[in-house]
Amino acid sequence: MTRSLTILGIESSCDDTAAAVVRDCDVLASVVYGQTALHAEFGGVVPEIAARAHAEKLDHCIEEALAEAGVTFADLDAIAVTAGPGLIGGVLSGVMCAKGLSAATGLPLIGVNHLAGHALTPRLTDQLTYPYLMLLVSGGHCQFLIAAGHDSFQRIGGTIDDAPGEAFDKTARLLGLPQPGGPSVEKAAKTGDARRFPLPRPLLNQPGCDMSFSGLKTAILRARDSVVAEKGGLATQDQADLSASFQAAITDVLIEKSRRALDTYLALNPEKPAFAIAGGVAANTAVRDGLMALCAGLETDFVAPPLRLCTDNAAMIAYAGLERMQAGEQDDLTLSARPRWPLDKRAAPMLGSGKKGAKA
């Protein structure tokens, strides 16, 4: 039996300052300080402002997480920190803070890939066994990964341009709906007619499971402009119909491409087939329901971790650090912050694999 481990996790790669304490598969505390208000007037995350805010807030955030978990540094086995990929100033704030704590306490330091944090979350929440299929779908990422070990990921497809969350955010902006766009487009879509605007399903008929969402955004712009030209503006029903048509297009693409990703994964004959989703877009009911139905038809478990662990948080970083520690791995004070850090080292770089858009 492996010994129980208690890990402090630190996350600061984008616009959430987060700290968490995880003991084995229990999240003892997970504190997230968002920065939405700081960046609101700029229409996107400003890297300098984000980095400064992380540097100012990290120690408070860590103190709060330790207090909430009811532990002190003496109870910890290691400090895990996001070492990339992300906005370099923010990543550096976290790495420097973790190094300081490690030097002062003597606790081992463990650098974690932020994407591995997302990809290992289903093991924290549902104890999935390797290999499982993962769709990471957020404002900055969209990729299918087969997770075969804590450091063994095969990327079998992804977006070649925008991430779906980014497309939701841009669509909301075009339709005059509030940010973040995902929830407001989903809400408007509830009373809309998804058949009114026949939007494209990019790359749907191409082989493989790569995706493209930038053309969809242009199609929404054109559809909106034609309504405005005809009526002089957008009525609430037009917003609802455009939202519903957009959401249906994104959902169709994600589900069809997931079907193909599942084909590749199921060919490996996993003992307990499982498909997990993470990232902010995992909150979308149409996407979730569609994927759940797809998995049910293929006798594959569908796992959607609770939303607070699907979006950026530090519990996933602590847990990924825990798996590294169990494997006998750790870093030292030479750990460096990396703006880019692909999970699948063998896969060719993809245009859409970096962090960009409203959340980057």
Residues within the interface to Zn ion (CB under 5 A): 312
DSSP-assigned letters across all residues of 143-203: EEEEEEETTEEEEEEEBSS--HHHHHHHHHHHHTPPSSHHHHHHHHHTTS-TTSS----TT
Of the ranges 58-66, 80-88, 253-261, 273-281, which one interacts with ligand KG4 (CB under 6 A)? 273-281
Q: Rank residues 89 and 192 by Cβ distance to Zn ion and give the closer one.
A: 89
Q: Rank residues 44 and 270 by Cβ distance to ligand KG4 and give the closer one.
A: 44
Q: Rank residues 28 and 281 by Cβ distance to ligand KG4 and give the closer one.
A: 281
Decide: is 183 part of the binding site for ligand KG4 (CB under 6 A): yes
Residue type at position 229: A
Decide: is 47 part of the binding site for ligand KG4 (CB under 6 A): no
Query: 171 is written with which tokens?
Result: 């669509």
Minimum CB distance to ligand KG4, residue 262 (Å): 21
- DSSP-derived 3-state class of residue 100: helix
Minimum CB distance to ligand KG4, residue 164 (Å): 7
Q: Rank residues 290 and 357 by Cβ distance to Zn ion and give the closer one.
A: 357
Decide: is 139 part of the binding site for ligand KG4 (CB under 6 A): yes
What is d(CA 326, CA 315) in angstroms, rounded to the nearest whole number? Answer: 16
Decide: is 136 part of the binding site for ligand KG4 (CB under 6 A): no
Is there a cis peptide before residue 131, judged by omega within 30 degrees of 0? yes
First to last CA, the chain: 41
Of the ranges 20-28, 123-131, 177-185, 324-332, which one interacts with ligand KG4 (CB under 6 A)? 177-185
Query: 330 is written with which tokens?
Result: 């750790």
DSSP-assigned letters across all residues of 163-176: -HHHHHHHHHHHHT
DSSP-assigned letters across all residues of 220-252: HHHHHHHHHHHHSS--HHHHHHHHHHHHHHHHH
Of the ranges 54-62, 78-86, 132-140, 145-153, which one interacts with ligand KG4 (CB under 6 A)? 132-140
Work out whether the CA dihedral 125, 129, 130, 133 comes out positive or negative.
negative
Decide: is 169 part of the binding site for ligand KG4 (CB under 6 A): yes
CB 82 within 8 A of CB 12: yes
Q: Which residue is nearest to ligand KG4 (CB)?
A: 182
Query: 209 is written with which tokens?
Result: 């499971």
Q: What is each CA distance from 31 to 8, 19, 66, 313, in whole angstroms?
A: 11, 5, 10, 8
Q: Rank residues 168 and 213 by Cβ distance to ligand KG4 and give the closer one.
A: 168
Minimum CB distance to Zn ion, residue 44 (Å): 16
What secondary structure, in 3-state letters, does 306-335 show? CHHHHCCCCHHHHHHHHHHHHCCCCECCCC
The count of residues interacting with ligand KG4 (CB under 6 A) is: 21
Q: Rank residues 66 and 124 by Cβ distance to ligand KG4 and give the closer one.
A: 124
Q: Rank residues 203 and 287 by Cβ distance to ligand KG4 and give the closer one.
A: 287
Q: What is each CA distance from 297 to 129, 291, 300, 302, in whole angstroms?
A: 21, 10, 8, 11
Write the interaction track for ligand KG4 spanning residues 279-318; mark x where CB under 6 A is met and - where it is not.
xxx-xx--------------------------xx------
Of the ranges 33-41, 49-57, 58-66, 134-142, which one interacts with ligand KG4 (CB under 6 A)? 134-142
Q: Rank residues 241 and 312 by Cβ distance to Zn ion and give the closer one.
A: 312
Query: 27 is written with which tokens?
Result: 């999240």
Among the listed residues 85, 122, 181, 273, the single contact to ligand KG4 using CB under 6 A: 181
Minimum CB distance to Zn ion, residue 56 (Å): 21
Binding site for ligand KG4 (CB under 6 A): 14, 138-140, 165-166, 168-169, 180-183, 186, 279-281, 283-284, 311-312, 359
